């Protein structure tokens, strides 16, 4: 039986062998508890017919568990220094491909087409660098990649926002964008103690299952997300005030905004956090004719 990479002793050995030092700018926090990693792969529902896409494999702790439970692993690693380390730590596994690219700049679809041929079930599973969690998740969803879903470790606060319901202080434009594409659920919380170095924040694992189709029909998806972002620009402001200040020529077109709110059945004195995704969809369709950029 191969020794797990994700133990404190083995992790220290690997870091020492390669003289590796953590880069704060890359948000590097390595997991040192194999049980947590096995739990993540379990929540992702992997089989040998599944291909896993990983972002930020580090020294290969999660990658190794993915290689054991899925048919193929495609991992994107931005840090050039980790490539030789991964080559070494993952040498027992012949079903892993490491791409030395920034996933935010990479043509993920093209790499998937090349590397994951023959896999119909594809799942993103990762311990995401916390400083770029949101842009990465939104990129994966907005590029409409052929994935079943996303199961990732992230900052608990971001997990709370992603899975939040209307009327809560965590609910915002991020909740709406992600729940438009997926069903979101937080599946576990993770203590700081299982990371090296320990982060300053609590962590959680969230599972996003892609919807067959969005929960609402809208005339223009991008415009819907623009309206939701505008509605939360200043949380304490009413939706009318936010839209007036955020929409192009909003002050001159205040009457049109009021009319759209009225047509959508939304009281102008409400705050953005009280509106459901259905209400935002209706509102964006009524605003579209006057404000499409």
Mean pLDDT by 10 residues, the chain (293 residues): 87 93 76 95 98 96 97 96 96 97 97 97 94 94 96 95 95 96 96 89 95 96 96 96 96 96 97 97 96 76
Phi, then psi, of 183 in degrees rounded to 5? -100, 125
> In this structure, what DSSP letter does residue 41 have?
H
Using the CB atoms, write b or e for 216-245: b if 16+ within 10 Å.
bebeeeebbbbbbbbbbeeeebbbbbbbbe
Residue ranges matching CATH 3.40.50.150 in the chain: 8-210
What pLDDT, on the 0 to 100 scale, is given for residue 184? Answer: 96
Residue owning tokens 């470790």: 153
Provide the CA 269 distance to its chain's centre, in angstroms. 32
Domain with CATH 1.10.8.100 in the chain: 221-291
**Architecture of the domain delimited by 8-210:** 3-Layer(aba) Sandwich (3.40)
Residue ranges of the annotated binding site for S-adenosyl-L-methionine are 29, 31, 56, 77, 102, 127
Annotated binding site: 29, 31, 56, 77, 102, 127
- What's the distance, Cα to Cα, between the start and end of the chain in Å? 59
Pairing between strand 96-99 and 121-127?
unpaired
At the topology level, CATH places domain 221-291 in Helicase, Ruva Protein; domain 3 (1.10.8)
Report the pLDDT value the prediction gives residue 1, as an integer from 0 to 100.
61
Angstrom CA distances, 83 to 11, 20, 40, 101, 217, stand at 16, 12, 23, 11, 44
Report the predicted TM-score, pTM, of the whole model to 2 decimal places: 0.92
Contact, 77 vs 86, CB < 8 A? Answer: yes
- Given this model, what pLDDT does residue 293 score? 62
């Amino acid at each position: 039986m191969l020794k797990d990479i994700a133990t404190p002793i083995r992790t220290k050995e690997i870091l020492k062998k390669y003289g590796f030092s953590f880069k704060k700018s890359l948000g590097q926090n390595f997991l040192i508890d194999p049980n947590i990693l096995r739990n993540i792969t379990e929540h992702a529902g992997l089989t040998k017919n599944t291909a896993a896409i990983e972002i930020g494999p580090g020294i290969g702790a999660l990658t190794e568990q993915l290689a054991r439970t899925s048919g193929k692993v495609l991992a994107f690693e931005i840090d050039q220094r980790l490539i030789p380390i991964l080559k070494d730590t993952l040498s027992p596994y012949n079903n892993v491909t490491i791409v030395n690219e920034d996933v935010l700049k990479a043509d993920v679809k093209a790499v998937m087409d090349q590397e994951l041929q023959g896999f119909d079930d594809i799942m993103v599973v990762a311990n995401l660098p916390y400083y770029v969690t949101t842009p990465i998740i939104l990129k994966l969803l907005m590029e409409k990649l052929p994935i079943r879903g996303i199961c990732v470790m992230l900052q608990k606060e971001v997990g709370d926002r992603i899975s939040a319901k209307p009327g809560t202080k965590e609910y915002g434009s991020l909740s709406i964008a992600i729940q438009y594409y997926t069903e979101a659920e937080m599946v576990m919380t993770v203590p700081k103690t299982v990371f090296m170095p320990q982060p300053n924040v609590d962590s959680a694992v969230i599972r996003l299952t892609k919807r067959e189709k969005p929960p609402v029909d809208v005339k223009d998806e991008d415009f819907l997300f623009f309206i939701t972002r505008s509605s939360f620009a200043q949380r304490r402001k009413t939706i009318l005030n936010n839209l007036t200040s955020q929409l192009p020529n909003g002050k001159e077109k205040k009457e049109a905004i009021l009319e759209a709110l009225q047509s959508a059945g939304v009281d102008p004195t409400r705050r953005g956090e009280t509106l459901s995704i259905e209400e935002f969809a209706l509102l964006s369709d009524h605003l579209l004719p006057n404000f499409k950029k």
